[in-house]
Amino acid sequence: MGCCQTAVTGNQEFFIFEFADYLQDPRLQKFSPCSYGFIVEDGWFNFDPYYAKLSHFRERYRDGVPFVVDWVVGNETCAEAKKNMSYACLDMKSVCVDTSNNGPGYLCNCSTGYEGNPYLQGGCQDIDECQFPSKYPCNGECINTIGGYNCSCPHGTHSTDPKSTPCNPIPGSNKPEVNVLIGTSIRVVFLVVCIVATLIKYQRRKLSKEKETFFKQNGGQILYQKILSKQVDTVIIFTIGDLMKATSNFDKNREIGTGGHGIVYKGILRDDKAVAVKRSKIMNVAQTEEFIQELIILSQINHRNVVRLLGCCLEVEVPILVYEFIPNGTLFDLIHGNYNIHPISLEVRLRIAQESAEALAYMHVSINQPIVHGDVKSLNILLDENYMAKVTDFGLSKLLLPKDEAQLMTMVQGTLGYLDPEYLQERILTEKSDVYSFGVVLLELITRKMAIYSEGPGERKNLASSFLQAMRENRAQALFDTSVMDVGMEHLLGEVAELGSLCLSINGAERPSMIQVADKLKTIRSTWRELLRHNETELLIDKPGTSSACALSPSMYWTGRIMGMDGSAWQAVSQENFGPG
């Protein structure tokens, strides 16, 4: 058992190999029942003991082994073969070559400058040598010819053999051409500059005309006249250039919010004042005077819980609104963001709810022309540097009306879960529509669930519907946020839940007004003030399993942030009140 190999010499008419009889030994058969042999290219095969079993070799080389055959035509010389009808070099561009290494016979090749099959008529085709510069060098201009190629130097240069040596300039031969080239280049550059300057001037005029058209279309002249006559001093008219500079050309990195109405960017004005720049997607400017009047009214609102409208840009197709910048994000982020480790306390939640309710109540009754928000949700309640609530997007229900029913449906989908059922039926927004939406926000605060939430894969529930059903079945406590469900808090949360259910009444007439909602929240906070304070104090005391007596509870963490205190400050307060443990 083993492996052997031998060379196959030339001039062989046939070659046979066979296996010795002793390979039939049962002991060998048991180990490797099959023997095998093969002809392979010289130098390719290296024996490996792994090949001792036939299956191993066959599995590794399923597609076979390389086999090279050297052959010739017939057993005649070229001179003899050309006299016979069987002469194999059929193409006119072929040549016959006598062979001597493998016995008598001959081979056919395509002539120089041709390639293909010389054994077929028309089999040899011209080679385009210019396409293969590495094989057919040319240091000048290459021109293909039948059966070859020409190589010549460009005008003004020379070489003894452009195929092998570079083409060098002929001294003094290119001065006139250089002068002509320079002159032509100057003319072309001048022409291009003139064309570009003309296009820029045209585009500037076109852009300026568009700005004037949009400014007039959006009521800019009406607003400008009111400002000149000092009827209005609360609105700033920004140019698009001002806002592009403030937002770094509306850089994506400056985006701080997106929604159904548009995109909000953070901008820095020339006086380093931070602002929020809102680019809206759609707008109905058919009632221009009404739009400007509402813009003026919104800019005159001065309530501590309402985001102030500073100004606008009217020289674009869809007006851009500029608001004061509120730094600490939205109530939605605070409730549902990445703060699960440190939930906010119930006291803070109720304070934010009361502040938001007071803002809505002010807009409904405390100004000459009541304004319905129309899109109350946790995303539209912002938090300033002290985490005080600031309601934004007032008036967009009228400023940003959809142009058709399809756009209306898009807006409805954008606020799914907050919309008043009566509004969906009647298509009329009222103050009670805001009350219903605020009721959903109130539920978000005490349940920490989104308006449309999931409890399992593919399962989506409406928070308002689920909560009202739980109230009817007397199991609302199951939906409360466990992080605020301390001992004695059930009745307090029950009062807030009852207020929320009133806001969610199907019949708008049965809902309280926003003034009543704000007063009720104020009363709840006042009535339960001691319990809320006691709850916060209890959270400071060490609980089993904590590593330190001064460890902060999740609620106290957020209370500390809102009061502007860091962890070390809270630790100092805790030690002062309760000692080191």
278 is in an annotated binding site: yes
The residues pairing with 267 across neighbouring beta strands, listed in sequence order, are: 275
**Catalytically active residues, by annotation:** 375
| CA–CA separation, 532 and 571 (whole Å) | 20
| CA–CA separation, 410 and 418 (whole Å) | 14
What's 551's DSSP letter? P
SS3 298: helix
Task: Name the strand (E) or helix (H) holding 94.
Answer: strand 94-98
Q: Is the dihedral of CA 572, 576, 577, 581 positive or negative?
A: positive
| CA–CA separation, 25 and 32 (whole Å) | 10
| CA–CA separation, 85 and 91 (whole Å) | 14
CA proximity to 125, closest of 106, 151, 147, 100: 147
Given the structure tokens 């689920």, which residue do they identify? 466
* Residue 160, Cβ density class (10 Å: 0-12 exposed, 13-18 middle, ≥19 buried): exposed
Here the tokens at position 315 are: 């020289």
CB 542 within 8 A of CB 549: yes
> Which amino acid is it at 53?
K
Cβ within 8 Å of residue 104, ≥6 positions away: 72, 74, 75, 76, 77
Residue 57 CB neighbours (<10 A): 15
E strands present in 293-397: 309-313, 320-324, 381-383, 389-391
| CA–CA separation, 74 and 93 (whole Å) | 21
CB 459 within 8 A of CB 508: no
CA proximity to 378, closest of 342, 411, 352: 352
Here the tokens at position 572 are: 């100092």
Residue ranges at the known binding site for ATP: 278
Residue ranges at the known binding site: 278
